Every structure is written in structure tokens, then in C-alpha cells.
Amino acid sequence: MADLAHGKPDQRGLSHAAGADSHGVGTRRDFLTIAGNALAVVGAACVAWPLIDSMNPAQDTLAAGAPVDIDISKLQPGQQIVVLWRSRPIFVVNRTPDLLQTLQQPQDLALLSDPNSEVLQQPGYAKNWNRSLQPQYLVLVGICTHLGCIPSFMPQANSVGPGWIGGYFCPCHGSRYDLSGRVYSGVPAPYNLPVPPYRFLNPTTIRIGENPPNEADFSLDSVVQI
């Protein structure tokens, strides 16, 4: 079909499409056929786009991704609540000073794969030792960076095994994270748990999905891996 030129019909009425072009190049028929075919191909490509785009999230789905507000006034120290934002679980943890301490012990940091949160898995304002705006409150997207399961919240020491200092354990393939969502080396999950954009409306209300004023815009779409 790549051969666009055609000879005259011979006695049998069949043209030899390949190799029988006696007109040489640049005849008007060639031009018209090529132009016609080109237009048809462009047209077909334009037709494909609406079909593809119709499978992208619709306006109502996008609107349902609007920010959600979480009341943390009743969140007890050491506890976690889970809310849905954009159909994804968001973990919010009230970390006790004891738990926060586990995040800074050098012997534990040595076991982490990305202790300084170098990989873009969090907004700039959460790229710190506690991966949060206020150390007391941890906010994470609760989706394992391996294959998407929801890691379990295991704050108790030794609850996952001897030497466990508290953190997240993924039931699917055993990935482990510490209590700031940083992944340990040598487990299937490659990256730290993502931190969504969020801000404090007041000391007891967190809004998920909106950056703090005066902070650079961060969108969850930009993280390396959810």
C-alpha cells in the first residue's frame, strides 16, 4: 500500500501497482493521491483524540478531587486516622515525642533507602527529617510504592518482628516504612510513601489538597511514584 503510483490498466484491466509506473515522479495524480491520503491520515488521527480523551477523568471526577478538610482535634497521641481524598487513603498520624525520636536515630537511618527524602515524593515543605509541616502530625498517601497495597500502621515496637521500632508494614509483599513513611532498604518498594499537598487551616484542621500560602505549588501528579 505504500506505493501510491499506479500505471494505466493493461489489457486485463489490472494495473501492476508495483514497479509499473511509467509516468515517473511528480505527476498531478501522484500529488492528488498523496495529498488525499495525507488528509485522510490527519483526519483519522484527529478522530482518535476525542476517543482517547473521553477515557481521561471527566469533569465531575476532577471536581470530586477538591480539597477535603480533616478535623484532628480528637486524634489521640499515637493514633492514626484514614480519610479518602481523590479515592486514595490519606493517613494522618499524631506522633508522640517518643515516636518522633525513632526518626532520628543514626542506626535506624542507616537502614533507610532514602533517609533525606531526595526523591521527589513530597512537597518541598515536607522535605525534612520528619517529612511534615509540623513534626507532631504526619500526613501521607497510604499507598505502597511497590504495587499499590495499603500498608498497615504498626506503631508498637517489635510488633512486626524483633527490632521493629514502629512504622508501616505492607501486607502484600512485606515492604517496610518508618513512621515518616521512609522506605527501608532491601524491601520490594522502591520509594518513600508520598506526602500529599496539605496545609493547616487552624491548629486542629488540616486541608488535604491545598498547599500552604507562601509555599511553592506542589501537585501530587508530580511525584515519582504513587
Partner 1 sequence: MRRLFPAALGAALLLCAGGAWAQEDAPDAPHQDWSFAGVLGTFDPGSLQRGFQVYNEVCSNCHSMNQLHYRDLAGIGFDTAEIAAIAAQKQVQDGPNDQGQMFMRAGKSSDGFVAPFANAQAAAAANGGAAPPDLSVIVKARGKGLEYLWGMGGPDYVYGVLNGFQDKPPAGFNLPQGKYYNEYFSGHAISMPPPLADGTVQFQDGTKSTLPQEAHDVVTFLTWAAEPKMEDRKRTGAKVIIFLLAMTGVLYGAKRKVWKDVH
Partner 2 sequence: MAGTPSTVRTNNKLVRWIDRRLPLFSFAQDAMIDYPEPRNLNYWWNFGSLAGLMLVIMIVTGVFLAMQYTPDSNLAFNSVERVMRDVNYGWLLRYIHMNGASFFFIVVYIHIFRGMYYGSYKEPRELLWMLGVVILLLMMATAFFGYVLPWGQMSFWGATVITNLFSVIPVVGKTVLTWLLGGYAVGGPTLARFFSLHYLLPFVIVGVVGLHLIALRQHGSNNPLGIAVKGPQDELPFHPYYTIKDLFGLGVFLIIYALFVFEMPNVLGDAANYIPANPLQTPPEIVPEWYLLPFYAILRSVPDILFIPSKLAGAICLAGSILILFLLPWLDTSRVRSAYFRPIYKWVFWLIVIDVFALGTVGAHRPEGWYIVIGRIATLYYFFHFLILLPFIGWFERPLPLPESISAAVTRKNGVPVGAAPAEPR
Positions annotated as catalytic residues are 173
58/84 with CB nearer partner 2: 58
Question: Which of ligand FES, partner 1, partner 2, none is residue 61 near (CB under 5 to 8 Å by kind)?
Answer: partner 2
Element (H, E) at 109: helix 106-109
Neighbours of 76 (CB within 10 A): 9
- Region near ligand FES per CB under 6 A, out of 30-38, 46-54, 126-134, 141-149: 141-149
All three cell numbers of 56, joined, read: 481521561
33 touches partner 2 by CB under 8 A:
yes
Least spacing, CB of residue 213 vs partner 1, in Å: 15
44 touches partner 2 by CB under 8 A:
no
213 touches partner 2 by CB under 8 A:
no
DSSP states of 22-79 as a string?
-S-S--HHHHHHHHHHHHHHHHHHHHHHHHHHHTSPPHHHHHTTS-EEEE-TT--TT-
- Report the alpha-carbon distance of residue 222 to residue 204 in Å, rounded: 28
**Beta partners for 153?**
168
- Region near ligand FES per CB under 6 A, out of 16-24, 95-103, 167-175, 197-205: 167-175
Binding residue (CB under 8 A) for partner 1 from 18, 20, 43, 201? 43
- Region near partner 1 per CB under 8 A, out of 16-24, 57-65, 86-94, 217-225: 57-65
**Beta partners for 68?**
208
Neighbours of 185 (CB within 10 A): 11
Positions that interact with ligand FES (CB under 6 A): 144, 146-149, 170, 172-175, 188-189
